[in-house]
Amino acid sequence: MSVINLSAKSKPLEELLKTSGNIIKIGIDLDGCAVDTNPMILYQANEMYYFDNNKKYSKYDKKIREGLGRPLRVDDIIRFRYDECTPLSKEEVDEIFKVFAEEKKFLSLNPMPYAVDIINRLQEFYDEYFMTARPGNVEEQTIGWFENSGIRNYENKLTFNGNKLEIAKTDNISKFIEDRAETALELAENNINVLLLNYPWNNDPKQELIQKINKHPKIERIYNSPMAYWPNIEEKLIK
């Protein structure tokens, strides 16, 4: 005869998670997830290739005639790669990131709205790992960003330029917050639950990859409405 413990059953998820010894490990991507990267990269792009940010034409004003005729905006970014959705060439995009790194601008990126507080609050229930495809040459700036961010317990939990799937498997990570479609699908196909922050670059239903994502039971989209992404993530994870 089985005895159903009604009091345990009716415990809110929040309580159960607290008693589980923080064993649920979650991976958190940086750019586009914890960090609001695009606005500053685009500011840099406009400074170098479109307008300078005092609204004067830059020395690259030829690009304006060939291109959009106006500075780039966040909503122009509908593909993961800038050279696929703006008039910028791959070389120009590389140059933008090179200058961005040289001028140590990774240090002054903004966190996504509410991300810092919620990342800290989630630590009561989850063991968090931060993972980025940023190259090793910006490691110091990225650590500096964490130091100034107010995010707690990131030390020894930050990896660069590695294969997220391999790291997730090695560290037994069972959930992942990600915005890149290819990475999300790869993680999901390996049984990792993905919270996919919904962006134009991961939501073009004409692409086969996106059709697979939209059907995958391990991938759940997180929208930036009616609340922002992070309050919606928090609600999914602890409410």
Strand boundaries in 109-226, DSSP class E: 110-111, 126-132, 158-160, 175-178, 193-197, 219-222
Integer CA distances (angstroms), 104 to 67, 147, 179, 181, in order: 28, 15, 24, 28
Per-residue DSSP letter, 152: -
Among 11, 25, 31, 144, binds Mg ion (CB under 5 A): 31
Q: Considering only residues 165-184, where is the footprint of Mg ion by CB under 5 A?
A: 179
Q: Which residue is nearest to Mg ion (CB)?
A: 32
Nearer to Mg ion, 17 or 151 (CB): 151
Tell me the site size for Mg ion, rule CB under 5 A: 4
Answer for which of 32, 49, 82, 237 binds Mg ion (CB under 5 A) is 32
Q: Tell me whether residue 29 or residue 92 sits nearer to Mg ion (CB atom).
A: 29
What lies within 8 Å, CB to CB, of 37 at 6+ separation is 30, 31, 109
36 contacts Mg ion (rule: CB under 5 A)? no
Q: Can you tell me the distance from the alpha carbon of 175 to that of 152, in angstroms, rounded to the nearest whole number?
A: 19
Shortest Å, Cβ 107 to Mg ion: 18
Strands (E), 42-112: 110-111
Distance of closest approach, residue 29 Cβ to Mg ion, in angstroms: 4
Q: Is residue 29 close enough to count as binding Mg ion by CB under 5 A?
A: yes
Catalog residues that contact Mg ion under the rule CB under 5 A.
29, 31-32, 179
